[in-house]
């Protein structure tokens, strides 16, 4: 029996089976070693390895998902913040208009949207000034602010931020619900056997749902414009120059004011005459008649006195 068994081990079938078994054992040992190395590197126990592999390839499952505008995915950990910058630039009066033109031209070379701009030219009572309001992409904000700083002296720079995450999430939830409601109404229209009355009612509800959906989509675009771009408001002012007063400065000011004072006096006189003139038309004839009446009365008394004597 032992001799026969020894001869069996030399058969080709048993040799191939033994080789296959050895290969399987080696492969299993290699896989177990790789799994142990991965668990050691990731810091997970054997019971957590399956969860880690799932979370590695599907991060949305751990962070949470929300339906974003335009079909995008918004993670729950994301924030939507509206940032505003307000600057006041002081420069020479002759450079205000040029600085505004240069800033408008530079805004066209980057991701910048000009919302409004105005320029006030210099007059006898007003100094030149200007204002620009724009929305700038965050990646181009530093370039924009550097260019603004080169136009003059930054007298004031204020920054404001407003967290609009709750508003954005609320609007996106309404968009999702209205979209599902609209789609369900469209499916109801395609069902067979719908009566005319039901069809009219469904179409009315569908129009209302579409109008509400358009309104929410517009609101979402406004929020996206506020949170995805930075609002920058710039006010340009001309610098005020102080002039030293000389010894005869007051004399010069008096001579300059002479014409205006004389004109004001003549205007007051003309106004007084214009106010009195209507009354003179009544007073002068009345005084004349009164004077004649008094003279006649005196002459009559004199004549009566003479007759008595």
The 10s digit of each residue's pLDDT in 40-59 is 333 333 333 333 322 222 23
The first and second tokens of residue 158, run together, are 């204020």
- pLDDT at 225 (0 to 100): 84
pLDDT surpasses 70 at 5: no
Cα–Cα distance, 63 to 44 (Å, whole number):
19
| Residue 91 neighbours by CB under 8 Å, 6+ apart | 99, 151, 152, 153, 236, 237, 238, 239
Q: What is the pLDDT of residue 246?
A: 60
What value does the mean pLDDT take over residues 275-287? 79
Which of 12-26, 28-42, 116-130 shows the lowest per-residue confidence on average (mean pLDDT)? 28-42
Q: How far is CA 225 from CA 71, 81, 162, 168, in A?
A: 17, 11, 14, 12
**pTM reported for the whole predicted model:** 0.48
Read off the pLDDT of each residue in 171-183 and give the average, rounded to a whole number: 91
268 CA to centre of own chain: 53
Average pLDDT on 155-163 reads 91
Percentage with pLDDT > 70 across the chain: 71
pLDDT at 168 over 60: yes
Kindly tell me if the per-residue pLDDT of 64 is higher than 50: no
Mean pLDDT over all residues of the chain? 74
- What pLDDT was estimated at residue 105? 92
Is the predicted pLDDT of residue 280 greater than 60, yes or no?
A: yes
Q: What pLDDT is stored for residue 72 in this prediction?
A: 36
> What is the DSSP secondary-structure string of 31-85?
HHHHHHHHHHHHT--GGGHHHHHHHHH-THHHH-EEEPGGG-EEETT---EEEEE
Q: At residue 8, does pLDDT exceed 90?
A: no
* Span 98-155, pLDDT tens digits: 888 999 999 989 999 999 988 888 776 778 888 999 999 999 999 999 999 988 888 8
């Amino acid at each position: 029996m032992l001799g026969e068994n020894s001869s069996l081990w030399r058969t080709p079938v048993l040799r191939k089976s033994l080789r296959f078994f050895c290969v399987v054992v080696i492969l299993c040992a290699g896989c177990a070693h790789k799994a142990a190395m991965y668990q050691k590197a990731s810091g997970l126990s054997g019971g957590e390895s399956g969860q880690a592999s799932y979370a590695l390839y599907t991060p949305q499952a751990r962070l949470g998902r929300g339906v974003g505008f335009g079909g995008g995915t918004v993670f729950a950990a994301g924030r939507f913040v509206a940032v505003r910058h307000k600057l006041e630039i002081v420069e020479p009066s002759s450079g205000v208009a040029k600085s505004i033109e240069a800033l408008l031209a530079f805004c066209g070379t980057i991701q910048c949207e000009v919302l409004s701009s105005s320029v006030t030219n210099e007059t006898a009572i007003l100094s030149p000034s200007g204002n620009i309001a724009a929305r700038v992409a965050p990646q181009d904000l530093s370039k924009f602010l550097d260019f603004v700083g080169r136009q003059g002296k930054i007298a004031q720079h204020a920054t404001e931020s407003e967290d609009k995450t709750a508003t954005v999430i609320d609007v996106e939830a309404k968009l999702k619900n209205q979209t599902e409601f609209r789609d369900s109404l469209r499916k109801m229209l395609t069902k067979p056997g719908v009566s005319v009355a039901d069809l009219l009612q469904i179409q009315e509800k569908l129009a209302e749902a579409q109008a509400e959906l358009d309104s929410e989509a517009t609101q979402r675009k406004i929020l996206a414009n506020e949170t995805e771009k930075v609002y920058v408001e710039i006010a340009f002012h001309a610098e005020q120059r102080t002039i030293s007063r000389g010894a005869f400065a007051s004399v010069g000011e008096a001579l300059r004011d002479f014409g205006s004072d004389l004109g004001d006096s003549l205007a007051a006189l003309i106004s007084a005459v214009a106010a009195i003139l209507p009354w003179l038309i009544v007073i002068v004839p009345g005084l004349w008649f009164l004077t004649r009446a008094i003279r006649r009365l005196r002459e009559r008394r004199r004549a009566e006195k003479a007759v008595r004597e």
